[in-house]
Amino acid sequence: MKPIVDILEERVVSVIAEVTGEVAPGVVKPTQDAKFGDYQANGIMGLAKKLKQNSRQLAQQIVDKLDVSDMCAEPEIAGPGFINFRLKPEWLGFRLTEAIKDKERLGIDPLDNPPTTVIDFSGPNIAKQMHVGHLRSTVIGDVIARILEFWYGDAKKIIRQNHIGDWGLQMGMVIFSMHTKKWREENNITLDNLEHVYRHANELAKNNPGIAENFKQSTVNLQSGDEKETGYWKKACEVSLNACMEIYQQLGVKLTLEDVRGESFYADKLPSVISDLSVAKMLSESDGAQCVFMDGFKTKDGEPLPLIVQKSDGAYLYATTDLAAIRFRVNELRADRIIYVTDARQKLHFEMVFSCVRKAGWAGENVTLEHVPFGSVLGNDGRPFKTRSGENIKLRDLLDEAHQRARKIVEEKNPDLPADQKESIAQAVGIGAVKYADLSNNLVSDYIFDWDRMLAFDGNTAPYVQYSYARVDGIFKKGNIDLDNLIQGDFHIELNDPKELSLAKLLLRYGEVVETVARDLRPHLLTNYLFDLAQAYSGFFETCPVLKSPEPVKTYRLLLCYQTARVVEHGLGLLGIQAIEQM
Ligand code: ARG
């Protein structure tokens, strides 16, 4: 089904053309306030200005010709020339019936010809624990992938790429130590130990140039394929990746080992990046380093800012790998669209990399390159979220704590549930709360990590939305309702009560919201929507008896409940959050 907003937009646009001969947008949007109806066309004022006409008169001419009588009451003109639309209850009932019958896609059409899309997210580094910074990339990237997968209607068009940091000097530092007999005798190869080695090596290198040489040598050995070094490197990668996979599983994130294509994968493609840039006459030497200068990038002092692609000692950089990765993604993975989900501090890096591949012609106009930057996670004091001793908070510990805290809440609310059920509810609520809190903020803003707020059962939180699902399920259980039977029948919903109508309108906006979120990559619009829906359901539930109503109202209301549960479950699913039947 075409979203309501698009149907209205199309009709307004065609009447604008008829009346004025102009191709101009109607700018139809849902209204903020129900007193202006359900949707509003805002485009007339701008058009009138352009045509030097009176905007109210123009709005009147358009309304006179506009036929929306199948779906709306007579449109009204408001203010300087807004056109307000109020949907007819019969039509809403009809649309809702259609949406309910489409069990697969809830009445939402897939996009025509979706682009093959690479989503680069998570990207943890080997020999380091994932920390709360990686939480955001992982959670946001997973949600973007899920939403696009649904919107595209074709999972093959989505390619998840986990660009892990598994190459370069950092690896040399780790494997140099793993090499020493003493270390191996005293340590098992665990992630904790690897991380310790890495930190220690960093410390050593600071005041000991000799050892820094050793690290470099180890790196060179690894990069030239030395068997021993490669063996240690593989082991370190395996141990680190296994730890990541455990976290992905705990988080319910759809990333597997098959999605890993780390920096090392591009190692043999870096020399040709340099030589091709050289052939294209894009390289210049600056202080012995190979650089690319592009228009529009300046240092603070107004000097041209270089993208360094090779250091004077021949070493390649993070950017070089990203250049190679784009070439691979465009040429081999056949990507039409590449999306990077990293923190906002990498904004300039991606701007420069994108500009460089455009200039080199490695990504043509038909390829879209997007960076989705996000802000930092802050503690209650408004400073970066760290442990009391100032260390990065390990993701593993954070997720365990989420589970424990949720477990305590479940224990208080529902002490009589069987233990394993309490466990699974605690998992869904705890992890759901952490993810929801992360997603419900505008991506680019920093947000404060606040356990009490995210686990609250009221407000814009996962538990509140999850609870609305459990509540509907409770009705079905209480009434002993056979859902298959309920929706199989030949029904046509009728809506009368204002609360039924507001709930139905919101339910029917779901497709619009999914489309907007998918187009703009702004997950918080989906959490906002689910929160509104949960509230509308609450309003409906308080004033409209369901099981006690006479037929056919009982069936209509049950169907409203049913669709609410479906949309909540589906929406949470796009956010990678579990809906639960009991809380
Ligand atoms: N490993 C990087 C980090 O921890 C993230 C990688 C992002 N992806 C990319 N293609 N650069 O910040």
One domain for residues 368 and 479? no
Pocket test for ligand 1, best of 161, 333, 340, 342 (most atoms within 8 A of CB): 342
Could you tell which of 163, 260, 326, 352 is best to mutate to test the pocket of ligand 1, judged by most ligand atoms within 8 Å of the CB?
163
Question: To 5 degrees, how large is the angle CA 544–CA 550–CA 554?
Answer: 55
**For residue 58, how far is its CA from the centre of ligand 1 (angstroms)?**
53
Gap from CA of 137 to ligand 1 centroid (Å): 9
Whether residue 97 is predicted with pLDDT greater than 80 in this model: the reply is yes
Domain membership of residue 387 (yes or no) is no
The pLDDT of residue 335:
98
Q: Which atom of ligand 1 is nearest to the CA of 325?
A: 10
Domain span at residue 74? 4-87
Q: In the predicted model, what is the mean pLDDT of residues 277-287?
A: 95
562 and 434 within one domain? yes
CA-nearest residue for atom 4, ligand 1, is 124
Tell me which residue of 513, 509, 504 sits closest to 564, measured CA to CA.
504
Q: Please report which confidence band the pLDDT of residue 477 belongs to, taking 50, 70 and 90 as the band edges.
A: very high
pLDDT of 303 higher than 90 = yes
- SS3 assignment, position 338: strand
Whichever domain contains 42, its CATH number is: 3.30.1360.70
Residues linked to residue 83 through DSSP beta bridges, in sequence order:
41, 77
Please indicate, yes or no, if residue 370 is contained in any of the structural domains: yes
pLDDT of 433 > 80? The answer is yes
Residue 100 counted as domain residue: no
DSSP bridge partners of 131: 394
Locus of tokens 């209509």: 556
Same domain, 504 and 362: no
Percent of the chain at pLDDT exceeding 70: 100
Q: Could you tell me the CA-to-CA distances from 20 to 141, 216, 557 in Å, in that order?
A: 44, 71, 45
DSSP 8-state code for residue 304: E
pLDDT band at 74 (very low <50, low <70, confident <90, very high): very high
**What pLDDT score does 212 carry?**
87
Confidence at residue 562, expressed as pLDDT on a 0 to 100 scale? 96
Q: Which helix (H) or strand (E) holds 260?
A: none
Unique residue bearing structure tokens 């360094």: 308
Q: Is residue 155 part of a domain?
A: yes
Backbone angles phi, psi at 43, to 5 degrees: -85, -10
Q: What pLDDT score was predicted for residue 56?
A: 96
Residues 360 and 430 reside in one and the same domain: no
Contacts of 415 (CB under 8 A, 6+ apart): none
For residue 352, how far is its CA from the centre of ligand 1 (angstroms)?
15
On whether both 352 and 405 belong to a single domain, the answer is no
pLDDT value, residue 201: 87
Q: What is the mean pLDDT of residues 117-129?
A: 95
One domain, residues 70 and 173: no
Domain boundary among 206, 226, 258: 258
Do 236 and 211 share a structural domain?
yes
Going from the Cα of 250 to the center of ligand 1, the distance in angstroms, rounded, reads: 21
| Average pLDDT of the residues in 398-423 | 95
Percent helix, percent strand, percent coil in the chain, to nearest 5? 55, 10, 30
- Examine the pLDDT at 145 and tell me if it is beyond 90: yes
| Cβ–Cβ under 8 Å, residues 201 and 172 | no
* Average pLDDT score, the chain: 94
- Closest ligand 1 atom to 165 CA: 1
Residues 424 and 501 in one domain: yes
164 CA distance to ligand 1 centroid (A)? 7
Atom of ligand 1 nearest to the CA of 349: 11
Instruction: Confirm whether 110 is domain-assigned.
Output: no
Ligand 1 centroid–CA 431 distance in Å is 24
Residues 515 and 481 in one domain: yes
Note whether residue 316 is domain-resident: yes
Instruction: Please report whether residue 93 resides in a domain.
Output: no
Tell me the mean pLDDT in the region 400-407: 96
Same domain, 366 and 509: no
At position 362, the amino acid (one-letter code) is W
Residue 156 identity: K
Q: Decide the pairing of beta strands 82-85 and 117-120.
A: unpaired
SS3 256: coil
Buried b (16+ CB within 10 A) or exposed e, 41-77: bbbbbebbeeeeeebbebbebbbeebebeebbbebbb
End-to-end CA distance of the chain: 34
Are 401 and 457 contained in the same domain?
yes
pLDDT tens, 166-213? 998 889 999 988 877 777 778 888 899 899 888 888 888 888 888 888
Q: Which of 228, 258, 288 is the last residue of a domain?
A: 258
The pLDDT assigned to 178 comes to 84
Domain boundary among 224, 258, 292: 258
In a domain, 102, yes or no: no
User: 217 and 145 in one domain?
Assistant: no
| Predicted confidence (pLDDT) per residue in 345-403, tens digit | 999 999 999 999 999 999 999 999 999 999 999 998 889 888 888 888 889 999 999 99
Are residues 150 and 312 in contact, defined by beta-carbon separation less than 8 angstroms? no
Number of domains in the chain: 4
CATH number at 358 reads 3.40.50.620
| Separation between Cα atoms, residue 90 and residue 493, nearest integer Å | 8
CA of 403 to the centre of ligand 1 (A): 28
Instruction: Judge residue 197's burial from the number of C-beta atoms within 10 Å of its C-beta, 0-12 exposed, 13-18 middle, 19 or more buried.
Output: buried
Mean pLDDT of 21-33: 95
**Residue 428 sits in a domain of what CATH number?**
1.10.730.10
